[in-house]
């Protein structure tokens, strides 16, 4: 690999963490740096036209949706303002950076610098979270990122690549489970469980595909099938133990040291218990998104149309700007046409890459799919189109590699016939 690519891909987890719609200037600098790096390291190489076509199509659709919203729809000034910022950040910063990263990842194995860095970050954050018993050292408002970093590092660590020792993967997996439990992020729990199940399904299907006989037994007996399933059981068990339920207490590390329980575990169980009293407005957000989509199913209600309707119960005077579900946001604001144009190609590319990984038992492909699984789950539990840059960056990388897998497969089919 070109040394510039190694450095830029190693820095990618930090770049995803640092960039944000609240830091437009920094995000623009980061995106421009990746674009320059992609141009420098792609000289003399074939540019992936399908990748460029997809990015251009999505950018054009968002621009057309913005024009329709601005000049044809009757939206309030605050809704138009959010539409402007959303479109500009997504089209001018997120998409170009995602395309640049995808151009630098010409094969699945090339993602190793990002995978190693993400595992290191996840393990470090998990260790600090456990030692500090859930203290939000990244900031009170970024506790969800704290859990997400642990979840992502954990699901990458339990792959047979880049870590190639099962014991090391198991140790990091157990550390990650307790880090996730103490981080207080419900979306991190969901993302970790979803990705671990995807991982188990991937390796189970791969072993089933390669087995000559007793295929089901062989598939289920795989070490990297059992490891994520065991960690899911451990995580669910941890939540069950620390969940108050009808017992009326939480078990904590401090309580264990004293030989008893305490009234608060400072962990994700507290956040889950809070759902019993209030769903956190999420039910209202989802309902609003569904209503918008039902009333404008073809082209959507317009970018920004969700904003300013559902009040934030935790911050009087504030209103939600998005439904905390990217799929619903795309569908409700740009319609079924937008959903198919934006997410349809990605889904097909991911499916093609998944199948290629199963056929080849590729651990590097499994790693990329873990990035996608975590960021996709998080994107549909929180965040909006521009802020979920991890989904678009790694999602477009996976899409590009999936297209490459289909292209190579077709070429291999044609060559024998020509011969």
pLDDT, average across residues 281-296: 93
pLDDT, average across residues 346-353: 97
Does 141 score more than 90 pLDDT?
Answer: no
Q: What is the pLDDT of residue 282?
A: 83
CB 261 within 8 A of CB 255: yes
1/15 Cα distance (integer angstroms)? 20
pLDDT, average across residues 232-255: 67
Would you place residue 246 in the very low, low, confident or very high pLDDT band (cuts 50, 70, 90)?
very low
Would you place residue 120 in the very low, low, confident or very high pLDDT band (cuts 50, 70, 90)?
very high
- My answer on whether omega of the bond before 162 falls inside 30° of 0, hence cis, is yes
Q: Find where tokens 């960690």 sit.
A: 231
- Distance, C-alpha 141 to centroid of its chain: 19
Would you place residue 261 in the very low, low, confident or very high pLDDT band (cuts 50, 70, 90)?
very low
Collapsing DSSP to helix, strand or coil, 374 comes out as helix
| 311 phi, psi to nearest 5 deg | -70, 145
Q: Which of 187, 166, 135 is nearest to 231 (CA)?
A: 166
pTM of the model: 0.92
Q: What is the pLDDT of residue 46?
A: 81
The mean pLDDT value of the chain amounts to 90
Tokens of 396: 């477009």
Would you place residue 407 in the very low, low, confident or very high pLDDT band (cuts 50, 70, 90)?
confident
Does 245 score more than 50 pLDDT?
Answer: no
Q: What is the pLDDT of residue 417?
A: 52
């Amino acid at each position: 690999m070109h040394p510039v690519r190694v450095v830029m891909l190693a820095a990618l987890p930090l770049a995803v963490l640092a960039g944000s719609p609240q830091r437009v200037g920094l995000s623009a600098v980061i995106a421009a740096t990746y674009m320059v790096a992609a141009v420098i390291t792609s000289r003399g190489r074939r540019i992936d036209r399908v990748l460029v076509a997809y990015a251009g199509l999505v950018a054009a659709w968002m621009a057309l949706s913005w024009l329709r919203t601005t000049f044809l729809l009757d939206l309030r000034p605050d809704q138009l303002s959010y539409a402007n910022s959303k479109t500009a950040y997504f089209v001018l910063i997120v998409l170009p950076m995602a395309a640049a990263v995808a151009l630098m990842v010409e094969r699945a194995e090339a993602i190793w610098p990002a995978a190693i860095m993400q595992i290191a970050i996840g393990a470090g954050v998990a260790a600090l979270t456990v030692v500090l018993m859930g203290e939000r050292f990244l900031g009170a408002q970024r506790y969800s990122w704290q859990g997400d970093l642990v979840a992502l590092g954990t699901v990458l660590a339990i792959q047979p690549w880049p870590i190639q020792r099962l014991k090391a993967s198991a140790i990091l997996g157990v550390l990650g489970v307790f880090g996730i439990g103490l981080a207080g992020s419900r979306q991190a729990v969901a993302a970790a469980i979803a990705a671990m199940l995807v991982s188990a399904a991937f390796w189970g299907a791969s072993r089933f595909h390669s087995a000559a006989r007793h295929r089901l037994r062989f598939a289920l007996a795989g070490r990297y099938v059992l490891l994520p399933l065991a960690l899911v059981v451990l995580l669910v068990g941890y939540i069950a133990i620390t969940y108050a339920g009808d017992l009326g207490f939480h078990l904590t590390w401090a309580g264990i040291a004293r030989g008893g329980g305490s009234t608060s575990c400072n962990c994700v169980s507290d956040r889950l218990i809070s759902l019993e009293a209030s769903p956190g407005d999420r039910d209202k957000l989802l309902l609003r998104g569904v209503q918008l989509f039902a009333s404008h199913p073809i082209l959507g209600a317009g970018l920004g149309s969700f904003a300013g309707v559902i009040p934030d119960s935790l911050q009087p005077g504030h209103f939600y700007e998005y439904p905390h579900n990217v799929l619903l946001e795309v569908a409700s604001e740009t319609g079924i046409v937008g959903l198919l144009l934006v997410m349809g190609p990605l889904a097909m590319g991911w499916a093609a890459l998944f199948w290629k990984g199963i056929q080849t038992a590729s651990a590097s492909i499994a790693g990329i799919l873990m990035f996608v699984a975590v960021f996709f789950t998080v994107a549909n539990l929180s965040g909006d189109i521009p802020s979920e840059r991890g989904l678009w960056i790694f999602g477009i990388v996976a899409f590009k590699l999936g297209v490459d897998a289909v292209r190579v497969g077709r070429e291999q089919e044609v060559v024998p016939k020509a011969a």
